[in-house]
Structure 1
Amino acid sequence: MNRHKRLPLALALAVGLLLPLSGCTADPVDLQPATAENLQTEILAITEASAAGDFSNAQTLLTAMQANLRTAAASGQVSAERSASIQSAINLVQGDLTVEIDAAAVAAEAAAQAAAEAAAAARQQNDENAKDRAEQAEEAAKKAAEAAKERAKEQREDRDN
């Protein structure tokens, strides 16, 4: 599975892990509804940033979500088991975001190199064009000088005759 398909899958998995348990029971809930809603809102923001190709922002948002998860777990809003499941999903998404960020950096570097090479080729072409024009001008000047000498010679001959 390529990385462009894996990232949305990882985000979908993370959203699935954040869904609160349904039903009201006397058993302790492993994810409080308000906490689940907050985490889902954060996942949505991460998903939107990723979909827009803003992987650095998505990674920043994911780091903030991870901190919020730790705070919620420490305060008992998320069970240890549920927190571990969510953290596993976060780790997967973090890995995918890192790959995307690295790939974007490599692509940007390649684009910069290509632009530099194109600029160098354009300068070389301009230099070659200027050299060609200079050679053409020199040739035209030689021909004009020869033509002027020939006319001067003809005028001298006409005057001498």
Structure 2
Amino acid sequence: MIRRRLTTVLATIALSTLALTGCAGTPAQLESATAEQLQSGVLDVSEAAAAGDLTAAQDSLTRVEANLRTAAAAGQVTPERSAEIQIAINLVGSDLSMAVAAAEAQAAADAQAAADAAEAVAKASAAAKAAAEAAAEAKADAEEDKRDKAPDCKKNDEECSD
């Protein structure tokens, strides 16, 4: 679900950066070179997110945001268009943060499961060792009892059986 929303928001950013002007004769809301730079950054975010590298996606998104601010300060994007793009960046940032938190929670759960499994293996190994030692001790006791009983049988000419 997070991935689907992330894809939708990334598409929103891409579409926001694509539009250069609304009508002929009006000033550009976003200069062509700036649009290309932002599109390239959005592509980096998309590729990193698709590859599961959420940290790289967040870093790329931070660069897109910095580029947007620089372009807005230089007058390469109108304040209205900058605000629209910033809203989309904020949505993606929120989705990435949730995805990172979910990945961290999953990693912690996986680590705990591995630790629990290792503990169970150690306990089973200790139990097996204790059982083997008990069996060996019982066998030694039985053999000792047999040896102790053997001289008595011979003295009394008794037949001894196991």
TM-score where L is the length of structure 1: 0.91
Q: What's the counterpart of residue 32 of structure 2?
A: 33
Aligned-pair identity (%): 43
Deviation (angstroms), 1:30: 0.8
**What secondary structure does 2:95 align onto?**
helix
Residue deviations 1:24-62 (CA, integer Å, cap 9, x gap)? 944321111111111111101100110111111101110
- Aligned pairs, number: 157
Q: What's the counterpart of residue 135 of structure 1?
A: 134
Structure-2 change in CA distance of 1:23 and 1:7 (3 Å)? closer
Q: Does the Cα contact within 8 Å between 2:14 and 2:39 map onto a contact in 1?
A: yes
Q: What's the counterpart of residue 92 of structure 2?
A: 93
Q: What's the counterpart of residue 81 of structure 2?
A: 82
Q: What's the counterpart of residue 60 of structure 1?
A: 59
Answering whether residue 132 of structure 2 is matched by residue 147 of structure 1, we say no
TM-score where L is the length of structure 2: 0.91
**Matching residue's letter, 1:150:** K
**Matching residue's letter, 1:107:** Q
Q: Does the Cα contact within 8 Å between 2:21 and 2:29 map onto a contact in 1?
A: no
**Matching residue's letter, 1:101:** V
Q: Does the Cα contact within 8 Å between 1:17 and 1:85 map onto a contact in 2?
A: yes
Q: What's the counterpart of residue 3 of structure 1?
A: 2
**What secondary structure does 1:77 align onto?**
coil
Deviation (angstroms), 1:19: 0.2
**RMSD between aligned alpha carbons?**
1.6
Q: Does the Cα contact within 8 Å between 1:32 and 1:78 map onto a contact in 2?
A: yes
Residue deviations 1:54-89 (CA, integer Å, cap 9, x gap)? 111101110111011000010011111111110010
Structure-2 change in CA distance of 1:128 and 1:114 (3 Å)? same
Structure 2: runs of 5 or more not aligned:
158-162
Q: What's the counterpart of residue 49 of structure 1?
A: 48
Q: What's the counterpart of residue 112 of structure 1?
A: 111
Structure of higher RCO (CA pairs closer than 8 Å, 6+ residues apart): 1
Q: Does the Cα contact within 8 Å between 1:18 and 1:36 map onto a contact in 2?
A: yes
Structure 1: runs of 5 or more not aligned:
none
**What secondary structure does 1:31 align onto?**
coil
Q: Does the Cα contact within 8 Å between 1:20 and 1:33 map onto a contact in 2?
A: no
**What secondary structure does 2:52 align onto?**
coil
**Matching residue's letter, 1:48:** E
Q: What's the counterpart of residue 102 of structure 2?
A: 103
Q: Equivalents in 1 of 2:84, 2:115: separation in Å? A: 47
Q: Does the Cα contact within 8 Å between 2:21 and 2:28 map onto a contact in 1?
A: no
Q: Equivalents in 2 of 1:25, 1:10: separation in Å? A: 28
| 4+ runs deviating over 6 angstroms | none
